[in-house]
Structure formats: structure tokens, C-alpha cells
Amino acid sequence: MSTLTRNIARSQETRTRRRPVRPGKIILHLALAACAALMALPFLWMMFSSFKPLDEIFRQPPTFLPEAWTTGGYETAFAGADFVRGFWNSTYIAVTVTVVSLLTSTMAAYAFARIDFRGSKHLFMVFLATMMIPAQLTIIPLYIIMGWLGWIDTPLSLIMPASLFSAFGVFLMRQYIKGIPRELEEAAELDGASRFRVFTTMILPLLRTPLTALGIFTFLGQWNNFFGPLIFLNSDANFTLPLLVNQFKGQYGADWTSLMSATTLVAAPLLIIFAVAQRQIVDGIALSGSKS
């Protein structure tokens, strides 16, 4: 056997050799698994209860899985509220806010990270300071402005304020852009590329991971938004899913099977999105947070 063959075999043996399992890691993983199970338990209880008859929900001792599966709760939910229109309203608002917010946040982040102008650092600090102001403090002047524009009881009252200004999105994207080597942009500028072309052809493709994470966070925040629609929307035809569930709760407060079915309809899309894109969420936050 030649020396090269022996080295290859030795390296393969080293890679395949199992590392000793530390007892501390086993305890840590067991603790994390227990916490994950506790966090998932309320949703699983809600989902399984949506398929139980009403008398089985209050049975003592309680049962986790339904003994008699039924879809009556979902039939009552769709008959008692226009969830199809609510799904459309929530999806339309959440997708629009997400797309516009990604565009505005990325452009503002690029300006703060790459364009040196007078007072940029102070302006960015003021920009970040707005994250400390509760939304409840600005809702009255915002409502007055929406009234002047004639946007009360329209999707624009929710889309425009949320999509045009996102301090969290600008901060997240700026952290990642600052980690991109400037040499790439300087080489493109030497070849005659404009700043806009550098941004669209070089910076944006490198921001795919943090853009995915930010897009998911923005979408989830708008999907779960209850305070904004409660203030600005008045017509049932414009209600989003959180408002519909709140209205449904007032009409079917004693029908727990139907309430569980309605809340499952609202929560299920979010869990599907998180299950599909959880790697992008973790990678986006880890990469963006590691930039200085």
C-alpha cells in the first residue's frame, strides 16, 4: 500500500470515528426537547380539540386525541364568518407590506452602510431610537393622518405606515451589508457601473438569506397584527383574520370546538411557513447579527 493510499485511509478513518458523547450535551438536548414539547403542547391541544365534539372537550379526565373525530367545528367556522375573504385580506396586506418593506429597508440600509453623508451616524441612531417608542403612543397622530388622506377603513391605512418605515428591517440589513467587502463594489465602479447597478446586481443577490429572514418576520408580524386593523378597519368586508376570529368569538363564545377550529385556521399557515423556512430564519439572524 502506497503512502498516499495509507493517508487517505487514515483520514477517512478519522472522519468516520465517532466523537465521545458528553453527558452535558445529552442533558442539554433533553432539556431543549422538553421545552420544545411544552411549547408545542398548546397548539397540538388546540388542533386536536378542533376535531372533538363539544362534550368531549370538557370530559374529565381530559383526552388528548379525539375519540370521535368530527369536522363540525370547521363547518360552523366557515358558516359563521367569511374566512375566505379574511384569508385574502390578510394575505394581500401581509404580502404587500413584506415586498415593499424589503425594498425600502434594503435601500435605506445600503445608504446607511455605504454612502457617507454628513450626520449619517447620528441619523441612524435616531432612526434606531424609534424602535423604543410604543406603537400606542403614535396611533392617534397616525389615525389623524390617515383620516386626512381618506385611508380609514382601507388596506392602505395598514400597508403604507408598516411598509415605508421599518427601523428593525433597516438595522438588520445594514448589519449584513457592512460585512460585504467594499472591493467588490469598487471593482464594479471601475468598470463603469453606477451605484444603482451595483446595488441591484451585486448587493441584492448577496442579501438573499437575510432578506428571506426579514421577509418571514415581516409577513408573520402583519399576519398576526390585531391592533392596527382594530383601529383602522370598520367594515366586515375589510376585516383581517385576527379581527374575524375576535368577531367569531363574540358570536360563538360557548362553542369551543368551533373556536378551536377558527384559531387553527389562522395559526396553521404560520406554522407551515416556519417549518419550511426555519433554516433561512436562523441563518439570516446569525449572519446579520455577526456583522459589525
Q: Which domains does the chain have, with CATH numbers?
A: 85-256 (1.10.3720.10)
Q: How far apart are CA 205 and CA 190, in angstroms?
A: 20
Residues 6+ apart with CB under 8 A from 121: none
Give me the mean pLDDT over the 93-113 stretch. 91
Decide: 256 and 77 in contact? Cβ < 8 Å. Answer: no
Distance of CA 184 to the CA centre of its chain: 31
Q: Find the mean pLDDT for residues 91-110.
A: 91
**pLDDT digit string (tens) for 268-286?**
888 887 777 777 667 666 6
- Point out the least confidently predicted range of 1-10, 78-87, 95-104, 258-267: 1-10
Three cell numbers, residue 226: 390585531
Q: Does the pLDDT of residue 1 top 80, yes or no?
A: no
pTM of the model: 0.78
Question: Is 90 exceeded by the pLDDT of residue 71?
Answer: no
Confidence category of residue 19, pLDDT binned at 50, 70, 90? low
Taking residues 120-139, report their average pLDDT: 84
pLDDT computed for residue 145 by the predictor:
92
Does residue 292 surpass a pLDDT of 50? no
pLDDT bucket at 102, cuts 50 / 70 / 90: very high
| Out of 8-12, 123-127, 194-198, 221-225, least confident range | 8-12
pLDDT computed for residue 97 by the predictor: 93
Residue 221: its pLDDT value, please?
87
DSSP string computed for 238-272: G--HHHHHHHHHHHSTT-HHHHHHHHHHHHHHHHH
Residue 17: the pLDDT is: 53
**Half-sphere exposure (CA, 13 Å, Cβ side) for 71?**
4
Q: Does residue 119 surpass a pLDDT of 60?
A: yes
Grid coordinates belonging to 67: 375519540
Minimum mean pLDDT among 86-100, 167-181, 248-262: which range?
Answer: 248-262
- Return all residues near 227 (Cβ < 8 A) that are at least 6 apart: 135, 136, 139
| Residue 261 · residue 254 · CB < 8 Å | no
Share of the chain above pLDDT 90, in %: 12
Q: What percent of the chain has pLDDT over 70?
A: 87
Choice between 116 and 281, residue whose per-residue pLDDT is larger: 116
- B/e letters for 103-132, b = 16+ CB within 10 Å, e = fewer, are ebbbebbbbbbbeeeeeeeeebeebeeeee
Say how far apart CA 237 and CA 155 lie, in whole Å: 11
What is the average per-residue pLDDT within 195-199? Answer: 83
pLDDT score recorded for residue 117: 80
pLDDT confidence tier of residue 189, bands split at 50, 70 and 90: confident
Question: Cell digits for 64?
Answer: 388528548
pLDDT at 169 over 70: yes
Least reliable range by pLDDT among 5-14, 49-58, 202-211: 5-14
Is pLDDT of 10 > 60?
no
Average pLDDT of every residue of the chain: 81
